[in-house]
Amino acid sequence: MNTAPPSTLPAQTAATHLEIEPSILYFGTPVVLLSTENQDGSFNLAPISSAWALGKTVVIGLGREGQTAYNLGSRPDLVISLPAPDQWPAVERLAPLTGRNPVPSSKPKGCRFEPDKFAAAGMTSEPSHLVRPPRAAGCPIQLEARAERVRQDVSGEFVIVEAVVCKVHADSRIVVPGTDHIDPAAWSPLIYNFRHYFGLGPELGHSYRTQTPRNFEGPAAEPALAARPVRSRPRGDGQQVGRGVPAGEPPSAN
Ligand SMILES: Cc1cc2nc3c(=O)[nH]c(=O)nc-3n(C[C@H](O)[C@H](O)[C@H](O)COP(=O)(O)O)c2cc1C
């Protein structure tokens, strides 16, 4: 059953595609902060948007000459911390920094070496349970993981990391109480959209496979993270949400 609402683009724009050559193809993926261990036992922190999950494996794309790629080639432990939208200024403070010294010539102009990126970002660290690098405190989701495969990509410019998650930490305010489910109405990733930062807009609908459909009978989560521009819980708003499952239909079994 197709539950997606029709495109919101006006019909007359549908046929006017231009052939363009954009310099980047960052079409809107969540920002993650990767903590990895440096050779001297200190820790690096780097913002990355080329990351996606496949089961318990997170696939990550990294510049070949960055400190993060260098670290994961020798020391596989990492933490994947997911910042909330209002943490974008801290992410952007990390943008011109590298943990690599000397700074590789492939880094953009203005990039400089920074040995303490947690402090430079204005963030603090908290210990992990199963891996050596610390978690980025304040990030609502933190995934402890190990890089099980690190290989060169087809262009030779990047490395592709396959990291297997071994522990998930989630801020209690984004977890449906009494369950292992993240409440998608309480959580918004920080989205990197053609080099601009966004949170999520209002919910449009949900997959037939969701375990937290709009009429989910579990207890309501706490209000969305305080002072964070996350989506309000839109129960009962028939205009924007709930199109995937009609009211009264039982929650999805999968
Ligand atoms: C929002 C954002 C997303 C980024 N995404 C990536 C990415 O997916 N892969 C990558 O290699 N670098 C990415 N970068 C650039 C790295 O953060 C940057 O090269 C940094 O210097 C890497 O640090 P490191 O050399 O200490 O590993 C991104 C930067 C920002 C601000």
Tokens found for residue 207? 């997959």
CA of 78 to the centre of ligand 1 (A): 15
If you measure from the C-alpha of residue 123 to the centroid of ligand 1, how many angstroms do you get, rounded to a whole number?
17
Where do runs of H (alpha helix) occur along the chain? 67-74, 88-94, 117-121
| Contact between 198 and 85 (Cβ < 8 Å) | yes
Helix-strand-coil percent breakdown of the chain, rounded to 5?
A: 10, 30, 60
Q: Rounded to whole angstroms, how far apart are CA atoms 27 and 90?
A: 21
Ligand 1 centre to CA of 164 (Å) is 20
Pocket of ligand 1 (CB under 6 A): 31, 44, 46-50, 61-63, 66-68, 91, 95, 97-100, 111, 192
Mutate to test the pocket of ligand 1, among 26, 32, 34, 49 (most ligand atoms within 8 A of CB): 49
Mean pLDDT by 10 residues, the chain (254 residues): 53 79 94 98 98 98 98 98 98 98 96 98 98 98 98 97 98 97 96 97 91 69 44 36 34 36
pLDDT number for residue 25: 94
Q: What is the pLDDT of residue 246?
A: 35
> CA 149, 31, 48, 29 torsion: positive or negative?
positive
Q: Is the peptide bond before 127 cis (omega within 30 degrees of 0)?
A: no
Q: What per-residue confidence (pLDDT) applies to 2?
A: 46
- What pLDDT sits at residue 15? 79
Domains of the chain, with CATH numbers? 27-170 (2.30.110.10)
Residue 52 CA to residue 30 CA, distance in Å, equals: 8
Expressed in angstroms and rounded, the spacing between residue 26 Cα and the centre of ligand 1 is: 12
pLDDT at 13: 56
Asked if 99 and 164 count as a contact pair (C-beta separation under 8 A), the reply is no
The pLDDT score that the predictor gives to residue 9 is 62
Q: In one letter, which amino acid is 16?
A: T
Nearest CA to ligand 1 atom 19: 66
CA angle, 81 as apex, 79 and 65 as ends, to 5°? 65
Distance, in Å, from the CA atom of 74 to the CA atom of 57, rounded to the nearest integer, reads 19
Q: What is the pTM of this model?
A: 0.84
Distance 246 CA to ligand 1 centre (A): 42
